[in-house]
């Protein structure tokens, strides 16, 4: 099943987890604590409302602060547009937008992505983007197949993706710093 079909068929918990997982994997761009979104995951597990936890996460992660680049702006938009009301009708457009934004973030950060489908190449997405597509689909499949019991594994998949993106962001910052140092010589 395609990612679009998985989002279309997801229930409220699956949509919330799908959007939250995309946001969580992109957390390194906000420079936030890895645990900043953990209360939102907990609210999904116990079925409680998440409006208060969402407001705290926005405060903690500096929602409204001007981002440094397009990728960070996309992540800020994911956080800022998260609906306080956790219903399928409110979550479906957010989960869909988070999916697209997360894929865009991965394309922007992946130096190999310039040769991908956006550039007219039919070889398929770069490895970083392909891995993000797989993670998004897996999170939705876990929730569809296992309900609340799939949340733990979905969080594990998300943490793995966050580690990968953190390494990419770190490498990008190093390369930028090195290029700046060379230019200053």
pLDDT of res. 22: 98
| Residue 26 and residue 100 in contact, taking contact as beta carbons nearer than 8 Å | no
pLDDT of res. 153: 97
Structure tokens at 125: 């997405």
pLDDT of res. 119: 44
pLDDT of res. 117: 45
Structure tokens at 103: 């894929």
pLDDT of res. 66: 58
| Residue 60 and residue 43 in contact, taking contact as beta carbons nearer than 8 Å | no
pLDDT of res. 114: 52
pLDDT of res. 120: 46
Structure tokens at 71: 């990728």
- Measured CA to CA, the distance from residue 77 to residue 15 in angstroms comes to 17
| Residue 54 and residue 48 in contact, taking contact as beta carbons nearer than 8 Å | no
pTM of the model: 0.89
Strand intervals (E) in 66-182: none
SS3 50: coil
In 3D space, the residue among 57, 80, 70 whose CA is nearest the CA of residue 29 turns out to be: 70
SS3 34: coil
pLDDT of res. 115: 42
Q: What are the mean pLDDT values of the chain's consecutive 10-residue runs (185 residues total)?
A: 95 97 95 91 94 94 71 93 96 98 95 52 81 98 95 97 94 80 72
């Amino acid at each position: 099943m395609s990612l679009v079909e998985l989002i279309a068929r997801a229930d409220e918990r699956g949509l919330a987890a799908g959007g939250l997982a995309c946001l969580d994997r992109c957390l390194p761009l906000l420079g936030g604590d890895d645990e900043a979104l953990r209360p939102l995951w907990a609210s999904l597990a116990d079925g409680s409302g998440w409006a208060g936890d969402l407001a705290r996460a926005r405060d903690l992660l500096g929602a409204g602060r001007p981002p440094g680049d397009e990728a960070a702006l996309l992540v800020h938009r994911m956080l800022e547009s998260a609906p306080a009301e956790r219903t399928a009708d409110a979550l479906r457009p957010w989960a869909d937008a988070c999916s697209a934004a997360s894929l865009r973030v991965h394309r922007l950060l992946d130096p190999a992505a310039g040769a991908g489908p956006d550039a007219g190449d039919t070889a398929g997405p770069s490895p970083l983007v392909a891995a993000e597509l797989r993670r998004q689909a897996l999170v939705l499949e876990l929730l569809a197949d296992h309900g609340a019991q799939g949340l733990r594994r979905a969080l594990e998949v998300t943490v793995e993706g966050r580690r990968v993106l953190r390494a990419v962001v770190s490498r990008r910052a190093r390369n930028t710093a090195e290029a700046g140092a060379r230019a200053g010589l």
